[in-house]
Each structure stands twice: as C-alpha cells, then as structure tokens.
Amino acid sequence: MYIPTVLNVLQVSLSPLAGIFGFGRPASNDIHSVHGWDKFGVLSPYHDRSHVHGVRADLPADCTVDQVVLLHRHGSRGPEGEEVYINKLVETLENSSIPHHLPPSLRFLNHGYKSDLVPKNLTIIGRQQLFDHGVEFGRHYPGFSTDFVLSSTSQRVIDSAFYFTQGMFGREVDIVTVDKLGLPVNWILPWESCPKFSPWSELEAERATWAKKYIPVIKQRLSALLPGVELSDEDIRGALYACPYDLAAHDVSPWCEVFKPHELAAFDYESDLVSDGISGYISRNDTGPILGSVYVNKLIERFSNTTGDARDLYLEFGHDVTILLVLSAMNLNKDIIPLTPEYMPPDRKFRGSEQSPFAARMIWEKFTCKHSFEGPQVRLLLNGETYRLTSCQKSLKDLRFGTCSLSGFVKANVFSTNIRYGDETWNAACVDKY
C-alpha cells in the first residue's frame, strides 16, 4: 500500500529513402501534431487519437454507463537505457569543433547542447498529464468512485496513479501494487510470470536490420552539414532519442527540427517493430496475445460479474506493453501482413504512437439502454476516441457507435477465455522446459 508523502524533484529530403517511408496525418492541432512530433512509437507525447469517421463519439441519450474499467499508462518519463546514446552524442559534440555557419535547424549547436534528463522518472509534464486526465475522468464519470487503486510496482507508475487520483478526487487514495495481490500471475504485469518473455535481446537483430536502412543515410546528411564533427551511428540514434525525451521533459527539443518527416517516420516504425515483437503478432511463441489474455479474462469476469463482487469502477495503472498486450489478445491491431524489418508498409494497424503513447488511457464501458440496444453492451475508448471493437460488431448500430453486445464480446474473445495460467498453451509459450 502506498500513499506518497514527498513529490519528486521538479525537472525542470533524401531520395534513397523515398520508397521506404510513409507519412501519417496529424492526430490533433497541437504543435507536436502539426510538425509530426507526436509519432515516436511508444515514446510519443500524449495526444488524443483522431476521430474515426462514421463512429459517433457519444452514446444514445437513453443509454447509461453502469461499469467503467480504466487501464492507464504512466505519464511521460525520462529515458530508460536510451540515455547511453544521448550522453554519447553530448560527448561527441563537446569534443568537436562546431562550424559557425550552420543551417537554421542546427544553429542551436553554436550555443552547445546539454542533457538534463532524469532516467526512468516521471517528468513534470508526465505528472500534469495524469492530473489532467484524472480531472477529465472525474468530470466525465461523476457518479463513480472507489477507494481501491491498483498499480504496477514501478515508481513512475505509482506516481502516475497518485497524480491521477489527485486530479479525480482531490485527495489521497490508497494505491495497492500488484505484488501485494499474492497472485501467480496478474493482468498488469503478466510477463513477470512468463520466464521465456525476454524481448529486448531477442529483438536486436530486427532492430539492427531496420536501422541499417535509415540511420547511415541520416548520418551522411548531417555529417555534410557538420564538417569536422565525427558522427557515429550511435550519435544519430542519440539525437533521435533526444527529440521525444526532451519533449517528455520540457515540451520542446531542438533536435526535432533537425530531422526530415520520413526520417522520423522510420524512427517511429522501428519502435513499432520492437513493440510488435514484444507484445503483438510477431512476438516469439505468440507470447503477446497469450499474456494479454490475462487482462481479457479479468475484464470479462468483471463485466459478467461471475464472482458476484464486481465493482462499478476500476482504476488501474501500468505500462505501454500492458495496453498493447490487451489489443493483441483481442485481435484489434493486427496487420494482415506481419510487420517486417525489410520494409515499412504504407499503412499499418499496429501504431504505438496512437495506441500506447505516454499517458495512454484505455477506458472500457459496460452500458445498458432503454431502447437503442438490447441487453448489456461494451465500448472501448482509447486515448479520447471510440476504438471500434471490430472482432464482435454485428449490427449497423455496432458500427455506428463502435460497440458490441457483452455476449458477443465474450464469444469474440474465445482465444483468451480458452487460456489459463499454467495450462498447455501458457506453458508452451512461457515455460523454458515445457
């Protein structure tokens, strides 16, 4: 059980690429979206998703939301390992003679570049994101309340839960971490119960294959603009990481102006390749959807009230992977042709920047209506917009509101309901010597 008493310290065009990279339209009208600075995979600053054409944002007037389940990613944070590349870039620049005559996008280097990023910690902007989301959530669901909040064990997630509840309730609420539940597997960190889930080292080959297609080309371009500065591939990667992490800490970064849209698109795709390999449809042994089944089963248990003690409100906080696992288990962001490090498809369903940016919020509603729908219905709001439940939609109304019946939802998720922790499917994916 955790009640925070002390706040954290305040923190303060290249033709060879033309056939590889694609472009997406802005998700909103803020400065990040206008410049394309909201697409860095799961390192993207929070932004509401674009409205889906043809899907109504509000439910019919005769409908009432009876149960709400929130799954929230932590807010913007400092780097988690990537600071090695950023620090390497800073060192290279410090040991180089920067030319005086630079193009506008690089003139900031005449004054030097320092990094004050605090690894792993929630930033000021991250705290603001969660507080604002708590206020918005409280205003949207004024009749819902709870004294039980569940969080992963990471400090940035615990802090995120604290700021959200401060925004929603204006007071301290007990925050329980998942390790206190005493379960063999939990739905916030299911990978901790899967010994074969070791994604990072296994994905380096895919990352490296894709990186070779765009990092050297960026290095060639920037080296021509910075004669005398011996930039390495690691330096280029450091500059790319500096852009989203500066945004996470300060809401601005000089490095974002340095890169072309197709270069940032390549960086975004690299993140999606890794995320899909961890939590999605190219994951080893299909561990992504299998691990996501833990949350899906818990959600169905709550909506169906099979235990007889379901609450009307659940507030839970985790990570980008937590959310992406759920979408994978439900088959809601699967690309017909699996993502590959050989090329970037012009359009894809798996997009970490839209589905699990910093401070992503997944809100599940169960609702009933007097006339519009028959029986309990289910809806998903993902990052401010209705996310179509394509796997279980049956009627024109389902298409219009992005919903489906609870019974249809359960039937559509038979993949998850057929999996239990420790069964043959689970052990084949997760246990080393099965």
Give me the active site residues, please.
74, 320
User: What are the tokens at 198?
Assistant: 């070791």
Main-chain phi, psi angles of 377, to 5 degrees: -125, 165
Pair type for strands 175-177 and 385-386: unpaired
**Please, what sign has the CA dihedral across residues 244, 246, 249, 252?**
negative
Spatial neighbors of 29 by CB under 8 A, at least 6 apart, are: none
User: What are the tokens at 219?
Assistant: 């290095």
Give the containing element (helix H, strand E) for 318. strand 313-318
Spatial neighbors of 113 by CB under 8 A, at least 6 apart, are: 89, 90, 93, 242, 254
Q: How far is CA 241 from the centre of its chain?
A: 16
193 three-class SS: helix
Q: How far is CA 366 from the centre of its chain?
A: 23
| Torsion, CA 198, CA 200, CA 271, CA 253, rounded to 10 | 130
User: What are the tokens at 118?
Assistant: 């605090």
CB neighbours of residue 401 within 10 Å: 25
Pair type for strands 149-151 and 404-405: unpaired
404 three-class SS: strand
Spatial separation of the C-alpha atoms in residues 328 and 331, rounded to whole Å = 5
